[in-house]
Structure 1
Amino acid sequence: MAVSRVSRTVASLPHRPPLSLSRLRDKYYPNVARTWNYAIKYRAVAENYRFEKIDDHHLPQLMDLSKGFYEDESVTRATGSTMEGFRKGMEYAFAYAIAANSVTNISDICYDNKTNKPIGIRMIHPYYRDPTRAPFSIPASASSTDQEITLFTLLDETFNQVWKRFPNENAILKGELIYIDRAYRADTGLYKAWIDYDVDFPTVVKQSGAGIYAIPCTARQTKLGYTASYSRDPHVVNADGETVPLPQGDIRLYTIDMRTTSSINVKPCWEKMKACGMMPK
């Protein structure tokens, strides 16, 4: 009788074909191949490039790289200004990141090992409600051009909304800035490796006191949390007649565990820039 019950139970189970080698290959090979390709690319990154934490002696090279960054950066390009018009602003941005490195040690410059040529920049630094309470000496800003004052004041106004949303927070981490020379942007794996390379957010948070991570992008939820995905709209036409994209939507505010908690709309910043003549209407 027991055998009969077992037979009926077995007979009622859904039929599954034997797991053949071809089925295993079709199911798992794409994932294995993708992982293997990433491993090869990341190994190539280690062999072909080196990274140095930025310091004062890197400033001339950083300024040279900033010319390429400026040509790619949609916000500044859309203003119709020249690189020279924003030189002081870039010098201050690098000086700030260098000063912050004394605490966070996270902003760096990338070199091609074969040519010893600097080919990229990565900057992540904290931004303080009260700069006098920063755990490092914030450099004094130089006199700025009218365009620089207008642009950076508007951007600061946008970030200042963080303090209204989080009245008990005293510092935020500004979103990661990575620039790679166009000649090195082919499918090398450099960008994907660098975006995570040597980034220890728990330590940076502890060192800087920042509890919020601000990213000017939209986000989509994945199994691992939230992944930043930059929008490509709307587009504006810059001074050279080229169509360039602006970040559209919100600045997403993440707590230190990278869970989305709130957002700030960046559109008013671009609207103000148009109103004061810094962008084509």
Structure 2
Amino acid sequence: MTQVRIGVQIAPQHASYQQIRDTVVELEQLGVDVLFNWDHFYPLSGEPDGLHFEGWTMLAAWAEQTTHVEFGCLVTCNSYRNPELLADMARSVDHISARDGGTGRLIFGIGSGWFERDYDEYGYEFGTAGSRLDALAESLPRIEERWTKLNPAPTRDIPVLIGGGGEKKTLRIVAKHADIWHSFSDLETLNRKKAILAQHCEAVGRDVNEITLSSTFGKGDLAASGDALVEAGVRLFTIGISGPDYRKDLDTIKAALAWRDAL
């Protein structure tokens, strides 16, 4: 049996928080494996100044609200918070999510950032794509080191998810730090980038098979695209949904769960 997980990214836009809360309940009850939000300050589609909520305070609420689903940002923007603070936030959410002496359920998704309006409106220096990636490479060892110093320590080795597909910098960072790589790419591109990631892993002395591949379903038939991606090594599939009507994609999510269970 192939171990495949289904994630849903609940875009925190164009909806009330009550709608988001209710959606979290419904998706956990359906059997979704992972719930994601995102780390932005404004909507990414639709009305630019529409309803929107901040991601990390929401994750703390999800940690308390849920009982077994894993969750995280897809993905945190490295630029918005000091690395040591971000490590402490993640450790705290990890503990909040633990139940009955078990381990936490946070997946620490992170990337270099890209949405310029966030930077401009909130007073962060946008820089360049290269400088933001350099900052991410500098931040991750600090985050990992802080996790070793915190008291109490995280309840588990918090899995790190890195999103992005830049071949020279991003995939080198993935090779060094990621437990999960979210590729944001189609099947053909994924296969090519997998080979590049393997080269980076070899350079840092790591087995590329230690990194879980994460993607979205391809266009067309869900089962056919999913089967092809599973053949390529993908084990985490995420479906994005957005307000104002999160339930309009419920049939797609149910179909994905049925496909997962049939593997």
TM-score normalized by the length of structure 2: 0.31
Structure with greater contact order relative to length (CA < 8 Å, sep ≥ 6)? 2
Larger radius of gyration: 1
Higher strand share: 1
- The normalised TM-score by structure 1 is 0.30
